[in-house]
Each structure stands twice: as structure tokens, then as C-alpha cells.
């Protein structure tokens, strides 16, 4: 679906997010958060390789990416998405419990737009989503850099 498409429930879809995450609780948390944004369609993948395939076919407007996945790690997913011309420009927000400065820097240097640590600050995540999808009045992209 592309911007302005309608899904099965006839709601207007203005943006699509792909969440690559193997923890069902975290997926459900983001699903509940996005109930506040009914014009956003959430696609999910519990593994990295299928997530890359979904991104290549569906071209989401934003990707939320976990680091620890069962098939390949999130860093490899990020690298592959950045090397593929069809996904290279999709904003990617990494979500991880690993908050070490080296880990954050490694992902940012590899092309992650943002790096949020778990447990998630839901208000910040929703603000980032709104800003990256152009759903807010703010024109400046937020940054979690210190």
C-alpha cells in the first residue's frame, strides 16, 4: 500500500512502518502505541531476513529495528538495507536494550537515523514516528545524540 491507500477496513493509510522485532511483547506495545495513529499501517517481521524482504517489496516509510534477532543480527540487517538502493533512504530507528556508547555509535555510523534504548520512552518514540513520517508540525528531525 502506498500513501493514501485504503486497507481492508477502509481506513486511509498515510504511512507504513515496518517493525523487525522477535519479542511479541514489544510488537504488541508498538501496536498499542500506534492505535493513536490510525492512518499508520504497521508491518512486522520476527526475523531479519524476511524483514529485509518486506522492506524491499513494500518500501515502508519508516523501519523500527531490533538488534537481537533469531536469524541475523540487527547490524547486518541495517547494513543490507543501506546497501540496497531500494531501501537505502528509508529512515531506520534502532530499538535495543544495549545502550553502550560503542554500540550506539556503531549503529549510527552504519546509517541508523536514531537509536532508542529499551525500555522505550513511548512519548519519544511517538514523536520520532510523527517527525519522520511528516505527521507533526515540527520540521526539525529529532535526535537522541547527547
Per-residue pLDDT of the chain (146 residues; tens, 9 = 90+): 444 554 455 567 799 999 999 999 999 999 999 999 999 999 999 999 999 999 999 999 999 999 999 999 999 999 999 999 999 999 999 999 998 999 999 999 999 999 999 999 999 999 999 999 998 654 444 455 54
Of 35, 89, 41, 45, whose CA–CA distance to 65 is shortest? 45
Q: What is the pLDDT of residue 2?
A: 44
What Rg, from alpha-carbon coordinates, does the chain have? 14
Q: What is the pLDDT of residue 137?
A: 53
Task: With beta carbons less than 8 A apart as the criterion, state whether 15 and 38 touch.
Answer: no
How far is the CA of 16 from the CAs of 34, 65, 102, 131, 132, in angstroms?
11, 14, 30, 14, 11
Task: With beta carbons less than 8 A apart as the criterion, state whether 29 and 125 touch.
Answer: no
Q: What is the pLDDT of residue 1?
A: 43
Q: What is the pLDDT of residue 138?
A: 42
Q: What is the pLDDT of residue 104?
A: 95
Three-point CA angle 110, 114, 119, nearest 5°: 120
How far is the CA of 44 from the CAs of 62, 75, 142, in angstroms?
12, 18, 24
Task: With beta carbons less than 8 A apart as the criterion, state whether 129 and 37 touch.
Answer: yes
Q: What is the pLDDT of residue 63?
A: 98
Q: What is the pLDDT of residue 22?
A: 97
Fold of 5-132: Rossmann fold (3.40.50)
Task: With beta carbons less than 8 A apart as the criterion, state whether 143 and 114 touch.
Answer: yes
Amino acid at each position: 500500500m502506498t500513501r493514501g491507500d485504503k486497507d481492508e477496513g477502509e481506513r486511509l493509510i498515510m504511512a507504513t512502518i515496518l517493525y523487525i522485532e522477535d519479542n511479541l511483547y514489544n510488537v504488541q506495545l508498538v501496536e498499542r502505541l500506534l492505535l493513536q495513529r490510525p492512518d499508520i499501517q504497521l508491518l512486522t517481521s520476527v526475523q531479519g531476513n524476511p524483514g529485509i524482504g518486506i522492506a524491499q517489496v513494500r518500501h515502508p516509510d519508516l523501519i523500527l529495528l531490533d538488534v537481537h534477532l533469531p536469524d541475523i543480527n540487527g547490524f547486518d540487517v541495517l547494513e543490507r538495507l543501506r546497501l540496497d538502493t531500494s531501501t537505502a533512504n528509508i529512515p531506520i530507528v534502532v530499538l535495543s536494550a544495549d545502550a553502550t556508547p560503542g554500540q550506539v555509535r556503531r549503529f549510527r555510523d552504519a546509517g541508523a537515523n536514531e537509536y532508542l534504548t529499551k525500555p522505550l520512552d513511548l512519548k519519544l518514540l511517538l514523536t520520532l514516528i510523527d517527525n519522520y513520517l511528516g505527521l507533526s508540525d515540527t520540521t526539525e528531525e529529532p535526535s537522541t545524540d547527547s
